Structure 1
Amino acid sequence: MTTTTNAPVTAAPVHATPRTRARVPARSGIWFLAPYLFFFALFLVWPIVYGLWMSLTDRSLASTGSEFVGLGNYTQALTDPDMWSALGNTVFFTLISSVPLVVVSFAMAYLVYTGLKGQWLWRLTFFAPFLLPVSVVTAVWGFLFTNDFGLINGSLDRLGIAQVGWLSDERVAMWSIALVTVWWTVGFNFLLYLSALQNIPDHLYEAAQLDGAGCGAGCSPSPCP
């Protein structure tokens, strides 16, 4: 009686034949970049270079001729107290408007994200001012800030409180403009923060809970165990 052993059959290795790719000359790629490079140079590079050249001349928008003055314009600007005053006002306005734009918009987004009732109404209310054109914003807040018959000063007058020069008093004008700016543009930041909160994966919340992170109401899309 003979026994046959079935030896494992190993298939011969199959060598993949490398695919042949058509060689494309590297210089042909420039034709794909040419339209972008053209508009980039026309609308960005050239205005920057031309603006730098104009800053070295006494070119005026009211005249066609110009002479080279070197760094004279920069010297005059750096020694002008009005320039430093304008720069200080710009920095001050940036500080008093940027911080509320971050804090307030994040608080608004978090309130909506945690399941605030009537979310559609809050979303519309928070984002609607951003859709208004600057002319409408100026007209509405100009009426509110008017000294004599403005809505705010009229309400203060009925309460027996002295009227405030919201746009005429230099101590208050910058804060008024910052308030309007925050009211007008906070909706865009609110939308960005809300989108970011909604895109946080659930497994990050689960990992945080396993690590002992606190879990308040609405900290994740699903209730905490």
Structure 2
Amino acid sequence: MAAAWLCTARTKVCTAPASARCLRKELWTRPWKREDARLPWIFGSWECLQSRIQRVGGVSNDLRRLQEPSVCLYHSASAAVVQQKAVDRRTEEFKLVYRFPGIKYCRVLSRLKLLQTATSMIMLPPICYLYLQGQVSQNVLFYTTGIAVFAGAMLYAMSYFFRRIIGLIYLSETGQTVRVAHLTFWGRRNDIYCPIETVVTLDEVGDSKDELLHQFKRSNSTDTLYFTIKYGQIVDKEKFTQIFGELV
């Protein structure tokens, strides 16, 4: 009996630490098992969220790609319309209505004035250098400077006047477009195209027939050009009346 009781006690003592170790092992491992059970769900939701974000981003990128060609098509279409209008103006037939023979003399004077002003400006720095070296008097310096300043002022005044003198006026065969030729600052020809309905008639401007210069105004522009009937030639009086109305 004693021997059997002793064996039973030893067995309980030996198994007690084992059960304690098993209990600690179970307490330590149980939370990790729960977290292990939760982590795949968290990671799965994050992956789903990322996939949804990517899908939304993909849809927005697709929409942006769809919008870009439309914008490009709009700009290309507008550029094509402008280019087509320019081609139509060049290929359209125009009939001469008015000419000013003196425009060629205005061109020559404009270019001569440019040459004179450029020569005066080029001569001024060497004269200043020679004056500083004591080889030129003060009167020569003042004289050269005065010529350069006067040439620049005259160039501005003459170019302002010559650039507004009309040399030629045309009207298209359809009677819808007016072409006006005048000089630029460099003495070159420049053509202006405008619809006939934008040209202000002479009676609306207030110019009479006996005036030396008549105003060429447009309702869609603030620029004013000038032409003369006294020294100019009306080639086609009917078309001239169609553009400017009857002369008062």
Tell me the TM-score normalised to structure 2 length: 0.23
Tell me the TM-score normalised to structure 1 length: 0.25
Larger radius of gyration: 2
Higher percent of residues as strand? 2
